[in-house]
Amino acid sequence: MSTTSLFFTAAGVGLAIAAPVGPMGMLCIRRTLSGGPRAGLAIGFGIATGDAVYGLIAALGLVGISQFMLAYDRPLHLIAGLFLLYLGVRTLLQKPAADTTSASGDGDGQLAQVGRAYASSLLLTLTNPQTVIMFAALFTTLAPRGAFSSAIALTTVGGVFCGSIAWWCFLVTVVSLARHAIGSKLRVAIDRIVGFTLAAFGVVEIRRAL
């Protein structure tokens, strides 16, 4: 398999991994509706960055780091669960703003909002060490036999990252186009659904940690 073919195959895998709507997808949709496309894209880039970090760990054979993360699997699930529960409850209690992007005003406020969105999604992604196992299996499947190298590993990780980013850009674009057509009542209903979903995923993660 050529480097170009490997990249696009890995990109397809990254797209397939990112596409199912789970808690991160719900969070991305909600942040896009409340904070605009920049906040939604920050969520997507945070997720893709976390996946890339774990991908590099698996690809470069950093066994010590991966074993450490897997050894602390339960505490990481607990952290993720509590954070998801917090986000869900906060979403349920928060009053929907008419337009957060216009209300936030200055560039510094928007930059801080984007930074918080990126950091929160990166943290949630990094609290799922099973991603290392997934990427290890991915590299075993995609990498040419007998020709595995750092260049192939980086190509595969880059492909997965780009495929994931492509999905988040698509999702944010669709939600952004529909954002101004959504009335206040529907936005409240979406917030309630997202809040309950995030809280439910949080409870599931906490139970996995116990």
Tell me the pLDDT of the chain (210 aa) as tens digits. 577 887 888 888 888 878 877 888 888 988 888 888 999 999 999 988 888 888 777 777 666 666 766 677 788 788 888 888 888 888 888 775 555 444 445 566 678 888 888 998 988 888 876 677 777 777 666 665 555 567 777 888 888 889 989 999 999 999 998 887 777 778 788 888 888 988 898 898 888 888
Alpha helices in the chain (DSSP H): 3-18, 23-35, 37-59, 63-71, 73-93, 100-104, 107-126, 130-142, 150-179, 184-209
- Model pTM? 0.78
HSE-up of residue 77 (Cα within 13 Å, Cβ side) = 16
Tell me which DSSP letter residue 130 carries: H
Q: Where are the domains of the chain?
A: 3-209
Instruction: Choose among 161, 134, 155, 163: nearest CA to 15.
Output: 163
161 backbone dihedrals φ, ψ, rounded to 5° = -60, -45
- Widest Cα–Cα separation across the chain: 58
CB atoms within 10 A of CB 137: 11
